[in-house]
């Protein structure tokens, strides 16, 4: 055995041992439930391979590259952020985008933060991208919007359809209840289309287009997407009527000021991830690996799982808009996403699925998700009830009111009629 080959084997064994010793840290920011998604992560069953072991070790240690020719390179690359290099790279991005992607010092600081504190999270985003970016690009192109907006859900939800903000925004694009309803999304006890990748992306495109038509500045439009048009309008007034985002930015709410810089940092690092040692991890199946079947409910996820290779949790990951793991019905057909290889089996066995413990299928009774309404000056229960398509009596029952007296600022729980909201 040659000395070179001996050294290679020893090095490989070192890396293999380190796989066990070091392990992997938890993903704490915006992660999907890894137990639920584990079976959806692409895996290969193959004979033992040193290349495979190196790849796994390299992923866990955030190496510069997964190139198997770099057996002896360990540790972090030189991550000093060169301003001149960043300027030239962002100038290249700027030339191919409708957005202003020129370098600025604010975005530079956010890039530095992401490189030093968010590399593992960005690696996860790269792994999730194949499941969502083809859809985002298709929808954005159809709506004639900048394709770079496909990175916005990373800032909003970390590409997690189940993401929920403390304020109640949900889904990949983080729609609040009223905004979602205004864009035609359905939200009730069984369905939440804010969590459906396709429907929510269509709604986001419509909403973003409206905001751009109002402000004629993409970054003011993004600020309005995040903070609401009212807050952006106030900031514009306080700035003396400026119409450029960077001049208006100091007057925006504190929590919104870094929203656009964060977006720019994500765009830059997703485009130049390899240069900073950021590589995909936990890669989800690609969008083109999934197909859709139209199903009339009611049909439970456990009934589907009984006669296919899919588990209930896998079905829930692929179809997050079904809130109770049941396709509602009858009288309505819903799009259900499943892997390409499962389509034929599903169609062949669908009738048999419905015969599995049918007594466990509940009677479908739609009830809108409760919303919280803050009483304003001039409000009375009658007008509030009419606006939400419910009766005064129901508002009293939901809120334990003994009379029709309400006060400004009081918060009311309302299960509104979806057709009226």
| Pairing assessment for the beta strands 333-339 and 371-374 based on DSSP bridges | unpaired
The number of residues making up the chain comes to 421
**pLDDT tens digit sequence for 66-84:** 333 333 323 333 445 889 9
Window from 49-63, 157-171, 266-280 with minimum mean pLDDT:
49-63
- The H-assigned helical ranges of 30-82 are 34-37, 50-61
Which segments of the chain belong to CATH 1.10.530.10?
83-276
**pLDDT tens digit sequence for 90-130:** 999 999 999 999 999 999 999 999 998 889 999 999 999 99
Q: What phi and psi, each to the nearest 5 degrees, are found at residue 57?
A: -60, -45
CA angle 377, 382, 384 (to 5 degrees): 55
Place of tokens 């986001």: 204
d(CA 302, CA 74): 46
- The H-assigned helical ranges of 319-380 are 343-353
- Average pLDDT along the chain: 83
Q: What is the pLDDT of residue 366?
A: 72
The second-level CATH assignment, the architecture, of 371-414 is: Roll (3.10)
Is the pTM higher than 0.95?
no
Band the pLDDT of 38: cuts 50, 70, 90: low
Of residues 26 and 51, more confidence is placed in: 51
User: DSSP code of 127?
Assistant: H
Task: Give yes or no: 156 in active site.
Answer: yes
The CATH class of the 83-276 domain is mainly alpha
Q: What is the pLDDT of residue 367?
A: 67
Which segments of the chain belong to CATH 3.10.350.10?
371-414
pLDDT above 50: residue 341: yes
d(CA 226, CA 231): 10
CA angle 194, 196, 202 (to 5 degrees): 75
d(CA 262, CA 191): 31
Counting Cβ atoms within 10 Å, is residue 3 exposed (0-12), middle (13-18) or buried (19+)? exposed
d(CA 195, CA 177): 12
Q: What is the pLDDT of residue 307?
A: 97
- Average of per-residue pLDDT across 307-315: 96
Single out the catalytic residue among 156, 183, 202, 314: 156
């Amino acid at each position: 055995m040659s000395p070179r080959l001996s050294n290679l084997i020893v090095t490989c064994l070192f890396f293999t041992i380190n796989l066990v010793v070091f392990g992997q840290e938890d993903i704490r920011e915006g992660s999907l439930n890894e137990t639920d998604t584990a079976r959806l992560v692409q895996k290969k069953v193959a004979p033992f391979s040193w290349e495979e072991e190196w790849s796994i070790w390299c992923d866990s240690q955030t190496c510069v590259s997964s190139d198997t020719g770099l057996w002896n390179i360990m540790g972090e690359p030189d991550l000093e952020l060169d301003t001149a290099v960043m300027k030239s790279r962002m100038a290249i991005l700027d030339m191919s985008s409708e957005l202003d992607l020129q370098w600025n010092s604010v975005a530079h600081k956010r890039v530095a933060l992401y490189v030093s504190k968010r590399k593992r999270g960005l690696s996860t985003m790269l792994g999730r991208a194949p499941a969502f970016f083809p859809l985002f690009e298709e929808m954005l192109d159809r709506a004639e919007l900048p394709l770079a907006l496909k990175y916005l859900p990373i800032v909003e939800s970390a590409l997690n359809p189940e993401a929920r903000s403390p304020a109640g925004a949900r889904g990949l694009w983080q729609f609040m209840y009223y905004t979602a309803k205004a864009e035609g999304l359905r939200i009730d006890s069984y369905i939440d289309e804010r969590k459906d990748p396709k429907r929510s992306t269509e709604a986001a495109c419509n909403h973003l287009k409206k905001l751009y038509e109002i402000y004629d500045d993409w970054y003011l439009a993004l600020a309005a997407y995040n903070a609401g048009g009212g807050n952006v309008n106030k900031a514009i007034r306080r700035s003396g009527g400026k119409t450029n985002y960077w001049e208006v930015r100091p007057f925006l709410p504190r929590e919104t000021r870094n929203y656009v810089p964060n977006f720019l940092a994500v765009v830059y690092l997703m485009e130049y991830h390899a240069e900073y040692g950021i590589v995909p991890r936990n890669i989800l199946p690609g969008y083109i690996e999934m197909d859709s079947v139209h199903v009339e409910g009611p049909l439970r996820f456990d009934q589907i799982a009984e006669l296919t290779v899919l588990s209930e949790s896998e079905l829930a990951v692929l179809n997050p808009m079904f809130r109770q793991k049941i396709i509602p019905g009858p009288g309505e057909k819903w799009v259900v996403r499943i892997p390409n290889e499962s389509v034929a089996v599903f169609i062949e066995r669908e009738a048999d699925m419905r015969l599995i413990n049918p007594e466990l299928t509940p009677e479908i009774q739609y009830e809108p998700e409760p919303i919280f309404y803050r009483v304003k000056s001039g409000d009375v229960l009658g007008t509030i009830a009419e606006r939400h398509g419910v009766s005064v009596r129901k508002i009293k029952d939901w809120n334990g009111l003994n009379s029709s007296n309400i006060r400004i600022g009081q918060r009311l729980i309302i299960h509104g009629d979806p057709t009226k909201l």
